[in-house]
Amino acid sequence: MKGRNENAMGPFRISLPRTYDASPERVFRAWTDANSAKVWLAMGGDASIDPRPDGLFYLGMAWQGKINPHYGRYLRVEAPRLLEFTWVSETTRGKETVVTIELTARGKQTELRLTQEGLPDEESATKHTGGWTHFLDTLIERLAI
């Protein structure tokens, strides 16, 4: 299994917490099931997901009449507590970043921490903070269904 490519990663990092009224298994499934990811993460666009170490994913996010491709490969998949994957998009300037999703059960809730490392500059970090905030909030709505 190929790990992180630290030499190709930028110096910026973001970290966002959320709490969901759902089990870690349900939150994990929302990230790893292509049909679910199409709805909340690809915004109705395309999703191809192979959630296993070295498995690949592609998200064709539909936004403002345009498809924004995001792709990467899974580094660690430890259901239902951890997902780590590379993340490449136009907003990462084509650089490989690493996203880590950590899930912790707290009674009937799940605490999630999303960390993205390797962002190339402050603008990219700011855009990803806004983007992930939107998606993590959308996931709250998705899990309420």
Look at the block and give the residue holding tokens 């994990």: 28
- For the domain spanning 10-143, the CATH number is 3.30.530.20
Q: Report DSSP letters for 74-141, one per residue.
A: EEEEETTTEEEEEEEEGGGTT--EEEEEEEEEETTEEEEEEEEEEESSHHHHHHHHHHHHHHHHHHHH
* CB neighbour list of residue 104: distance below 8 Å, 6 or more residues apart: 24, 81, 110, 111
Spatial separation of the C-alpha atoms in residues 74 and 54, rounded to whole Å: 5
What is the chain's pLDDT, residue by residue, as a tens digit (145 residues)? 577 777 778 999 999 999 999 999 999 999 999 999 999 999 999 999 999 999 999 999 988 889 999 999 999 999 999 999 999 999 999 899 999 999 999 999 999 999 999 999 999 999 999 999 999 999 998 898 7
Spatial separation of the C-alpha atoms in residues 75 and 53, rounded to whole Å: 5
